[in-house]
Structure 1
Amino acid sequence: MRSGGILHSVRGMNHTPSSAAGVLAGRAADAGLALTHGGRRWHRPLVALAVFGGAVALCSLAAMPFDDRTLLGDSVWSKPFKFGFAFFAYGLSLAWLLSHMTKLRRTGWVVGTVFAVVSAVDFAVVVAAAAAGTFSHFNDTDTVLNQVVQLAFDFVPLLFLTNAAIAVLVLFQRIGDRAVTAVIRWGLALSSLGMFAAFFILAVAEQHDRTRTDANGDTIPLSGGHGVGDPDGNGMVLTGWSTTGGDLRVSHFIGLHGIQVLIGLAMLLSLLAARRAWLRDDRVRGAIVRWAAVGYLGVFAITVWQAVRGQAFTAPDAASLAAYAAAVLTAAAGVAVTAARARRRASTAAA
């Protein structure tokens, strides 16, 4: 059986109300959240990128207990693990998204392939630098390895451009139901902003030349850092985000993975619709996704604001806390009003 028919086949074999699995699978399929859409397979180069990222992430995690080399206090395998997880999650999300396009599919496939190739090269040089025990970002040495790494990084802006191009492509088409369309449009907008935040690091982060010792004991000249107010900072466990200064990697992460959060929300709403009649209208689910995205966008913007002020994500001041509260409450109020109206309509229809 082809993977594209899994959810549809389950739905077809389970028509009775007692078959919860069939109902839930049917809801997911109706919402456009099936493994494939219209028999089309996921974008294979992006799936390959995701597999590559996932494999490296797992290998990096396994290597940490056995390799005691560190860079700025973190395992040399910390960065490959984080990059691997990011490419695994985003590669799968983008591969799923492109399978749902109904217009300009060939253009979307080409743009997605460019994204996959550039990402794989970018990721590969990060892994190579880590394996060599040296810095990949901000490294000013003239070694052959570093020259290759920095050359590869010159193509990183293509990731933002290709992602933005896909975002523009989906603006002119409806993909799945209203909830899925909202997920894709808002998710791509958030991820594009997250990628732009990565470039913004170069503009606002501390750019003072300095030297640091790599895992091999060599002195490495660095031309900048991730932090604002503290170029290297004292990093959080695993993420490495600064606890002593601003860090735009926080907003980069939040923006980049917004699409996964929204996909998860849309799937949850589709499953709940099996038991909640008022959620079966895709206009209601779409509105809830949009309100959640508005709140998420607010959180993203506030993390940027925190970082450029040199404020650690873990130490928000009163103004930041108030802004976070406003973003969350705005989204919650929008969802609450949407749900209340939908319940009233459902009650009226049932009567």
Structure 2
Amino acid sequence: MSALVAELHRRQRALAWAGWVALGCLLLSLAAMAVDSRQIYGVSVWTKPAKFAASFIPWFWTLAWAWGVLAPAARRGALAGLVLWGTLAAALFEQGWISFRAAAGLPSHFAGDPLGQVMFTLMGIGATVLVALAGLLGLLVLARGDAAQPRPWRLAVGLGLLVAGVLGGVTGFAMGNAGSPLVGGSGMPGFPPFFWSRDGGDLRVAHFLAIHAMQAVPGFWLLTRAGAWPVGLVAMGWTGVSVAALWLAQAGVPLSP
């Protein structure tokens, strides 16, 4: 494990440390849940900060690992710098505002107050920046990957990031345009840790599947060491499943047990 952590920091130190900061935010949010009984929409006010911090941990560490798949010159280029600092800035804004609103006992998403509505729009921009930069890193890996590493591996990392970037944006826009992640149903939260709806459509399921393409597609190659064609088929299949989940959620079909 120590060798894995050391390799992660060697590949991209700032993103590796950002993952540890997100882990700290998660632990603090969980501790706050234990002592703060306030709720929003039937769940703890600290659920949203905890969920975002938990999602940022694999996000940062996946990007840090993917950094090592870039050609050395590409890692030092302007586009890579844009991905790095844009990701850190957008994530800091998102996590900071969500945590601030939780401390105030107010919703950060789909808020009713004027400031909350303005900030929710800005959060949408921030989320778009995050997924767009992940997709850009995927394109960089595909175009300027390290030639010393296996081509199917570079393809898996690049396609995983690209699918996550594109579909993460599509599913995120679907939630924003709908004015709610829920379609039909009672609106009561389902089981932890995700609290997805059990009696109506929930667009968060499709969003979850979309953004985790960045782990699923490379994970397939790590498990199988398959060639380029199977990697491409898995990326297409993951895309199809994510789109199907979006369509079913928009139709009001519950996808959570």
Q: TM-score range by the shorter chain?
A: 0.7 to 0.9
Q: RMSD of the TM alignment (CA)? A: 2.6
Distance in 2, matches of 1:179 and 1:84, equals: 31
Structure with a larger share of its residues in helix: 2
Q: Given the alignment, which residue of 182, 187, 190 partners 1:227? A: 182
TM superposition shift of 1:309: 0.8
Confirm or deny that 1:196 pairs with 2:166.
no
Q: Given the alignment, which residue of 92, 111, 133 partners 2:105? A: 133
* Equivalent residue, structure 1, for 2:28: 59
Confirm or deny that 1:167 pairs with 2:138.
yes
TM, length-normalised to structure 1? 0.63
1:298 aligned partner, one-letter code = G
CA contact (8 A) 1:125 1:152 kept: no
Over the matched positions of the two proteins, sequence identity in percent amounts to 30
CA contact (8 A) 1:191 1:255 kept: yes
Q: Flag the 1:140–1:89 CA change in 2: closer, same or farther, 3 A.
A: same
Distance in 1, matches of 2:243 and 2:118, equals: 34
TM superposition shift of 1:48: 3.0
The structure that has the greater radius of gyration is 1
Q: Structure 1 stretches of 5 or more lacking a match?
A: 8-33, 206-223, 271-283, 316-351
Confirm or deny that 1:89 pairs with 2:31.
no
CA contact (8 A) 1:226 1:232 kept: no
Distance in 2, matches of 1:227 and 1:161, equals: 24
2:135 aligned partner, one-letter code = A
Distance in 2, matches of 1:196 and 1:55, equals: 30
TM superposition shift of 1:233: 4.5
Distance in 2, matches of 1:152 and 1:231, equals: 28
* Equivalent residue, structure 2, for 1:238: 193
Q: Given the alignment, which residue of 240, 247, 250 partners 1:298? A: 240
2:218 aligned partner, one-letter code = I
* More moved, 98-107 vs 181-190: 98-107
TM superposition shift of 1:310: 1.3
Q: Flag the 1:287–1:58 CA change in 2: closer, same or farther, 3 A.
A: farther
* More moved, 45-54 vs 84-93: 45-54
Runs of 4+, deviation exceeding 4 Å = none
CA contact (8 A) 2:184 2:201 kept: yes
Q: Given the alignment, which residue of 1, 8, 12 partners 1:43? A: 12
TM, length-normalised to structure 2? 0.84
2:233 aligned partner, one-letter code = W
- Equivalences for residues 1-351 of structure 1 within 5 A: 35=7, 41-102=10-71, 103-105=73-75, 106=77, 107-142=79-114, 146=116, 149-150=119-120, 152-153=122-123, 155-156=125-126, 157-175=128-146, 176-192=149-165, 193-203=167-177, 205=178, 224-230=179-185, 232-269=187-224, 284-314=226-256
Q: Size of the alignment, in residue pairs?
A: 248
